[in-house]
C-alpha cells in the first residue's frame, strides 16, 4: 500500500506538470490570436487585451484559459451588433463548460485535497471575474447595443450562475470524496505499516532463531565429528590391543606346543627309566636270591660251627663265650665280623690246645670264612650301589613328577589365560558393538540434523518476501551444505579406512588359516559352514530382492517428485502469465492515458482552431456589415448562431463520443474508476496474499509430512538391512575366531595312540582355500551392499531436498 501511495504521489506532480504545460500552450496560442485581434480592433479592444494579458500573468495556467475565454467574451461584447457574436458566445460558454468538466475530471484523478481547494478558489475567482466582465458587458450593451441583446445576456448570466452552482456542488462532492478517500488511505496506510512492522519483527525473530539453530547445529556437528574421531582412536587402540592379545595367545599356544613336546620327551625318558628300573629290579632280585643262598650257606656254616662248638664244649667247658658270640652273629648280620674274630681267637686257642691235625682243619675253615666274608662284603657293596642307584632314580622320578606337575600347572595357567583372552575378546566385541550402536545413533542424529536443515530450508522458502536476508540465509545454508558434504566425504574416507582394516583382518585370517593346516577335524565343520553359507546366500538373495524393491520405490518417489516439480512449474508458469497480463494491463492503461492526453490536446487544438475561425468570421462580418441592414443581419445572425451551435455541439458530441467509449471500455475491462481504485488495491490484496500464503503453507506441510513418512519408512528399512548384514558378518567372524581358538589345543593331540582320519594336507589346504574364497566373496558382497545402501540414502536425501528447493 505504501508503495502504491508513493507511486501515486510521484505521478501527481508529473500529471499536474503535463496539464500546466498543455494549458500554457493553449494560453500562448490564445494570446497570439488575441494579439492579432487587438491590432485589428479598436482601442477598447487593446485595453481589454492588456487587461487579459495582465490577468494571465497574475493567475495560474488554469486561470489563463478562463481569462482568454473572458477576453473573447469582451471582444464579442464589443461586437454585439454582429449576428454571429451571439453564436460565438454560446460556443465559448459550452467550451468553458467542457474545459471545467475536463479540469474537474483531471482533478478527480490526479489532484489532492489541497490542490482541489486551490482550484476551487481559483475557479470561484474566475467566475467572479466572469460575472464582473459580464456585468460590464451588460452595461456596455445597455449603453451601445439594443435592448434585445440584454435579455440574451441575462439568460447567459443565469446559465453561468447555474453552472457556478453546479460547479460548487461538484466541488463539495469532490472535497467530500477526497476526504473520505484520504481517510481510507490513511487507515490503510496505518494498517499496512502495522502489518509490515509485525512481519518485519516476525522475520527478524525467525531469522535470529534460524541463526541460533544453525550455530547449534554446527556446534553439534563439530562435537559429533570430534566424538567420531575419538571413537575411531579408541577403536584403533582396541584393535591394537586385540592384535597384541592374539599374538600373546599365539605365543602361549606355541609355548604350550613346546611344553607338550617336552612332556612327550619326558614321558619317553620316563618309559626308558621304567625299563631300566625293571632291569635293575630283576638284577636286584637275582642279587637277593644270591644273598639268600649266601645266608643259607652262612647258616650251614654256623651249624657246623655250632657242632664244632658242641664238640669243643664237650671237650672244653670254658668255650661258653664263643657260643654267646655265635648267637649274637645269628641275631645281627653286621656283628658277623666280630663273631668271626672271636671265632678266630677261639680257633687260635683251640689250635694251641688241639693237636696239629686240628690246626690244619681250622686254617682251612678260616680261609673259607675269609672268602665267604669277602663275598659278603662284595655283595653288600653291590647292594649299596644298587640302593644308591635306586635312590637316584627315585629322586629323578620325583623331579620328573614335580616337573610334570609344574608343566601341568603351566598348562592350566595357559588355559586360564586363553579363557581370559577369550573373555577379553568377547568384551572387546561387546564394546565394538556398543561403538557400532553409537555410530548408528550418530547416523540417526545426522539424519535428524538433515531433517532439521530441510525444515530450515522450508522456512526460508516461506520467508521469500524478505529478499536480502533470505539470500544471506541461503548462502549460509549453502555453506552448511558444503560442510555437510565435506563431513560426508570424511565419513566415506573413514569407511574406506575401515574397509582397508577389514582387508587387513581378512589377510590376517588367511594367514591364520594357513597356519592351521594341521587341523584334521574340518569335515563336519565344512558341512556346517556350507549349510550356513547356503543360508547366507539365501539371505543375500532376499536382501537383493529388498534392494530391488527399494529401487522401485525410489523410482516411484522420483516419478512423484517429477510430477510435483511439473505441477509447481505449471503453477509458476501460470503465475508468470498472470504477472505478464497485469503488466500488459498496466501498459494498456498507460497507453490509454497517453491517448486520452493526445485526444485532449487534439480537442484543445480543434477548439483553438474553431475560435480562430470564429474570430475571422467576426472580422469579415465587421467589414461587411452596415448600419442600415441590422435587422436583416440579426435574423441571419440568429440562423447562423443556430447553425454554429449545432456545428459546435456536433463537434463536441463527436469528441465526447470518441472519448466516452474508450473510457467505458476501460471501465468495463479494468474497472478504472477513481472511487473504486483505492478499495480494490488496498483492501483486497493483503487478505488474498495471506489466504494464498496459508493455502501454500498447508499444502507444503502436507507434502512435507508425506515425504517424512516415506523417508522414515526407507530409513527403518535400511537400518534393518544394515543390522542383518552386521549380524551375519559378526557370525562369520565369530565362527572363524572360534575355529581358530579350537584348533590351538585339540583334545586328541595328547593321545599317543589316536586314530588317523582320511584327511590329508592337500585336502585341508584345498578346503581352506575354498573357505577363504567364499569368505572373500561374502565380504565383498557386504561391502558392495553397504555402498549401495549409502548411495540409496544419499538419493533419498536428494529427493527430500529437491521439492523443498523447488
> Using one digit for the tens of pLDDT, what is the confidence trace for 459-499?
767 766 666 665 666 677 777 778 777 777 877 787 777 77
Identify which of 723, 741, 736 has the alpha carbon closest to the alpha carbon of residue 782.
Answer: 723
Instruction: Give the pLDDT score at 479.
Output: 79
Residue 628 is given by DSSP the state T
CB 732 within 8 A of CB 775: yes
Nearest partner of 133 among 206, 196, 209, 77, judged by Cα:
77
Mean per-residue pLDDT over the chain, rounded: 67
Per-residue model confidence (pLDDT) at position 631 = 47
* pLDDT computed for residue 448 by the predictor: 77
Of residues 764 and 752, the one with the higher pLDDT is: 764
* Number of neighbouring beta carbons within 10 Å of residue 84: 24
Q: What is the pLDDT of residue 564?
A: 74
Q: What is the pLDDT of residue 206?
A: 78
Give residue 747's pLDDT band: very low, low, confident or very high (50, 70, 90): very low
Whether the predicted pLDDT of 151 surpasses 70: no
Any idea how long the chain is?
806
Instruction: Determine the pLDDT at residue 133.
Output: 67
Mean of pLDDT values over 753-768: 61
Percent of the chain with pLDDT strictly greater than 90? 0
pLDDT of residue 122: 66
pLDDT score for 335: 66
What confidence category does residue 156 fall into, taking pLDDT thresholds of 50, 70 and 90? confident
Give the span between the Cα atoms of 159 and 171, in whole angstroms: 18
pLDDT of 429 higher than 70 = yes
- pLDDT tens digit string along 509-534? 676 666 666 666 666 666 776 777 77
Cα distance between residue 275 and residue 705, in whole Å:
91
pLDDT at res. 565:
74
Least confident of 278-287, 430-439, 658-667: 658-667
User: Looking at residue 316, what is its pLDDT?
Assistant: 64
Q: How far apart, in whole angstroms, are the C-alpha atoms of residue 34 and residue 132?
A: 20
The residue ranking higher by pLDDT, 198 or 16, is 198
> How do residues 334-380 score in pLDDT, each as one tens digit?
666 676 677 777 766 766 776 666 666 666 777 777 787 777 778 77
Query: Over the range 295-311, which residues count as b (16 or more CB within 10 Å of their CB) and which as e?
Result: eeebeeebeebbebbee
At 285, list the grid cell.
632280585
pLDDT digits (tens, 9 = 90+) for 204-251: 887 788 788 778 877 887 787 787 778 778 888 888 877 887 888 788
For residue 537, is pLDDT > 60?
yes
In this predicted model, which residue has the larger pLDDT, 89 or 611?
611
Distance from C-alpha of 403 to C-alpha of 633, rounded to nearest angstrom? 168
pLDDT given for residue 757 in this prediction? 44
How high is the pLDDT of residue 14?
45
634 has pLDDT over 60: no
pLDDT value of residue 116 = 58
Give 17-43 pLDDT, tens digit per residue.
Answer: 444 444 444 445 445 444 444 444 444
List the Cα angle 610/612/613 in 5-degree steps. Answer: 65
Q: How is residue 755 annotated by DSSP?
A: P
Residue 324 to residues 317, 319, 338, 346, Cα–Cα distance (Å):
13, 9, 12, 12
d(CA 161, CA 134): 11
Percent of the chain with pLDDT over 70: 56
pLDDT for the residue numbered 190: 79
Predicted confidence band of residue 143 (pLDDT cuts 50, 70, 90): low
Question: Dihedrals φ, ψ of 520, to 5°?
Answer: -105, 0
Q: What is the pLDDT of residue 309?
A: 65
- Please choose, from the candidates 311, 312, 318, 341, the residue with its C-alpha nearest in 3D space to the C-alpha of residue 328: 341
Average pLDDT value for residue range 427-433:
78
Helix (H), strand (E) counts: the chain: 15, 0
Range with the poorest average pLDDT among 141-145, 406-410, 577-581, 598-602: 141-145
pLDDT at 516: 63
User: What is the predicted pLDDT for the residue at 253?
Assistant: 79
Identify the pLDDT of residue 22: 46
Per-residue pLDDT, 67: 47
The Cα–Cα gap between 90 and 405 comes to 150
Give the residue from 265, 108, 263 showing the smallest Cα distance to 675.
108
Q: What is the pLDDT of residue 99?
A: 53
Give residue limits of the domains in the chain.
Answer: 2-208+590-620+642-684
Is the pLDDT assigned to residue 139 strictly greater than 50? yes
Q: What is the pLDDT of residues 638-666, one digit of tens each?
A: 444 444 343 444 443 443 344 443 433 33
Q: Is the pLDDT of residue 3 over 60?
A: no
Indicate if the pLDDT at residue 733 is higher than 70. Answer: no
Mean pLDDT of 621-637: 54
Report residue 325's pLDDT band, with 50, 70 and 90 as the boundaries. low
Are the C-beta atoms of 308 and 288 separated by less than 8 Å? no
421: nearest Cα among 259, 256, 244: 244
- pTM for this predicted structure: 0.19
Q: Give the SS3 label for residue 743.
A: helix
Region at 671 (left for phi over 0; alpha for psi -120 to 50; beta for the rest): left
Instruction: Please return the burial class of 802, using the count of CB atoms within 10 Å of its CB with bins 0-12, 13-18 and 19+.
Output: middle
Identify the three-state secondary structure at position 18.
helix
Would you place residue 803 in the very low, low, confident or very high pLDDT band (cuts 50, 70, 90)? low
| Residue scoring higher pLDDT (404 or 644) | 404
Amino acid at each position: 500500500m505504501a508503495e502504491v501511495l508513493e507511486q501515486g504521489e510521484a505521478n501527481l506532480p508529473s500529471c499536474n506538470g503535463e496539464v500546466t504545460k498543455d494549458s500554457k500552450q493553449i494560453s500562448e496560442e490564445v494570446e497570439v490570436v488575441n494579439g492579432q485581434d487587438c491590432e485589428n480592433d479598436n482601442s477598447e479592444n487593446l485595453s481589454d487585451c492588456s487587461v487579459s494579458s495582465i490577468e494571465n500573468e497574475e493567475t495560474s495556467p488554469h486561470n489563463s484559459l478562463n481569462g482568454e475565454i473572458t477576453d473573447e467574451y469582451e471582444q464579442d461584447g464589443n461586437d454585439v451588433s454582429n449576428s454571429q457574436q451571439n453564436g460565438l458566445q454560446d460556443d465559448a460558454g459550452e467550451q468553458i463548460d467542457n474545459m471545467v468538466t475536463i479540469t474537474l475530471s483531471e482533478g478527480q484523478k490526479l489532484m489532492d485535497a489541497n490542490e482541489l481547494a486551490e482550484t476551487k478558489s481559483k475557479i470561484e475567482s474566475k467566475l467572479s471575474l466572469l460575472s464582473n466582465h459580464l456585468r460590464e458587458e451588460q452595461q456596455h450593451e445597455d449603453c451601445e447595443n439594443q435592448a434585445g441583446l440584454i435579455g440574451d445576456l441575462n439568460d447567459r448570466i443565469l446559465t453561468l450562475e447555474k453552472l457556478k452552482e453546479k460547479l460548487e456542488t461538484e466541488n463539495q462532492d469532490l472535497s467530500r470524496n477526497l476526504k473520505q478517500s484520504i481517510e481510507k488511505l490513511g487507515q490503510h496506510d496505518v494498517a499496512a505499516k502495522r502489518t509490515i512492522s509485525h512481519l518485519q519483527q516476525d522475520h527478524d525473530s525467525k531469522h535470529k532463531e534460524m541463526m541460533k539453530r544453525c550455530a547449534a547445529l554446527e556446534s553439534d556437528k563439530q562435537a559429533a565429528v570430534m566424538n567420531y574421531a575419538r571413537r575411531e582412536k579408541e577403536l584403533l587402540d582396541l584393535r591394537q590391543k586385540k592384535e597384541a592379545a592374539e599374538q600373546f595367545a599365539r605365543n602361549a599356544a606355541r609355548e604350550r606346543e613346546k611344553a607338550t613336546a617336552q612332556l612327550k620327551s619326558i614321558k619317553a625318558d620316563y618309559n626308558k627309566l621304567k625299563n631300566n628300573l625293571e632291569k635293575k629290579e630283576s638284577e636286584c632280585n637275582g642279587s637277593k636270591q644270591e644273598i639268600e643262598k649266601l645266608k643259607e650257606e652262612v647258616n650251614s656254616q654256623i651249624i657246623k660251627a655250632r657242632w664244632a662248638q658242641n664238640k669243643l664244649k664237650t671237650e672244653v667247658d670254658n668255650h661258653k663265650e664263643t657260643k654267646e658270640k655265635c648267637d649274637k652273629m645269628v641275631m645281627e648280620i653286621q656283628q658277623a665280623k666280630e663273631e668271626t674274630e672271636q671265632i678266630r681267637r677261639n680257633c687260635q686257642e683251640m689250635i694251641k690246645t688241639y693237636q696239629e691235625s686240628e690246626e690244619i682243619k681250622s686254617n682251612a675253615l678260616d680261609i673259607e670264612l675269609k672268602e665267604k666274608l669277602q663275598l659278603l662284603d662284595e655283595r653288600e657293596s653291590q647292594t649299596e650301589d644298587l640302593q644308591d642307584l635306586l635312590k637316584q632314580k627315585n629322586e629323578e622320578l620325583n623331579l620328573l613328577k614335580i616337573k610334570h606337575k609344574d608343566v601341568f600347572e603351566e598348562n592350566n595357567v595357559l588355559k586360564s589365560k586363553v579363557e581370559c583372552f577369550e573373555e577379553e575378546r568377547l568384551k572387546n566385541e561387546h564394546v565394538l558393538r556398543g561403538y557400532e550402536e553409537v555410530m548408528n545413533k550418530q547416523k540417526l542424529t545426522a539424519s535428524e540434523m538433515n531433517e532439521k536443515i530441510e525444515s530450515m530450508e522450508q522456512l526460508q522458502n516461506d520467508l521469500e518476501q524478505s529478499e536480502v536476508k533470505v539470500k544471506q540465509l541461503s548462502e549460509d545454508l549453502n555453506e552448511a551444505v558444503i560442510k555437510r558434504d565435506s563431513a560426508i566425504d570424511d565419513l566415506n574416507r573413514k569407511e574406506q579406512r575401515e574397509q582397508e582394516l577389514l582387508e587387513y583382518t581378512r589377510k590376517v585370517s588367511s594367514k591364520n588359516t594357513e597356519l592351521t593346516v594341521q587341523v584334521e577335524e574340518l569335515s563336519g565343520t565344512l558341512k556346517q559352514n556350507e549349510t550356513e553359507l547356503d543360508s547366507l546366500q539365501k539371505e543375500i538373495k532376499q536382501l537383493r530382492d529388498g534392494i530391488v524393491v527399494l529401487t522401485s520405490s525410489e523410482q516411484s518417489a522420483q516419478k512423484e517428485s517429477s510430477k510435483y516439480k511439473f505441477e509447481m512449474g505449471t503453477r509458476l508458469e501460470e503465475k508468470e502469465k498472470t504477472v505478464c497480463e497485469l503488466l500488459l494491463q498496466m501498459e494498456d492503461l498507460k497507453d490509454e492515458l497517453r491517448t486520452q492526453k493526445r485526444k485532449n490536446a487534439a480537442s484543445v487544438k480543434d477548439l483553438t482552431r474553431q475560435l480562430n475561425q470564429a474570430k475571422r468570421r467576426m472580422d469579415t462580418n465587421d467589414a461587411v456589415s452596415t448600419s442600415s441592414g441590422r435587422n436583416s443581419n440579426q435574423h441571419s445572425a440568429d440562423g447562423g448562431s443556430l447553425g454554429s451551435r449545432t456545428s459546435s455541439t456536433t463537434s463536441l458530441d463527436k469528441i465526447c463520443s470518441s472519448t466516452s467509449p474508450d473510457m467505458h471500455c476501460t471501465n468495463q475491462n479494468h474497472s478504472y474508476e477513481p472511487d473504486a481504485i483505492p478499495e480494490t488495491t488496498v483492501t483486497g490484496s493483503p487478505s488474498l496474499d495471506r489466504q494464498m500464503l496459508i493455502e501454500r503453507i498447508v499444502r507444503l506441510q502436507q507434502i512435507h509430512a508425506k515425504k517424512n513418512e516415506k523417508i522414515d519408512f526407507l530409513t527403518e528399512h535400511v537400518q534393518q538391512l544394515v543390522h542383518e548384514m552386521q549380524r551375519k558378518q559378526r557370525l562369520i567372524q565369530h565362527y572363524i575366531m572360534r575355529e581358530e581358538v579350537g584348533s590351538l589345543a585339540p583334545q586328541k593331540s595328547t593321545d599317543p595312540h589316536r586314530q588317523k582320519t582320511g584327511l590329508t594336507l592337500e585336502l585341508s589346504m584345498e578346503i581352506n582355500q575354498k573357505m577363504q574364497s567364499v569368505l572373500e566373496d561374502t565380504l565383498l558382497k557386504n561391502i558392495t551392499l553397504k555402498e549401495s545402501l549409502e548411495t540409496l540414502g544419499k538419493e533419498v536425501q536428494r529427493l527430500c531436498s529437491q521439492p523443498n528447493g523447488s
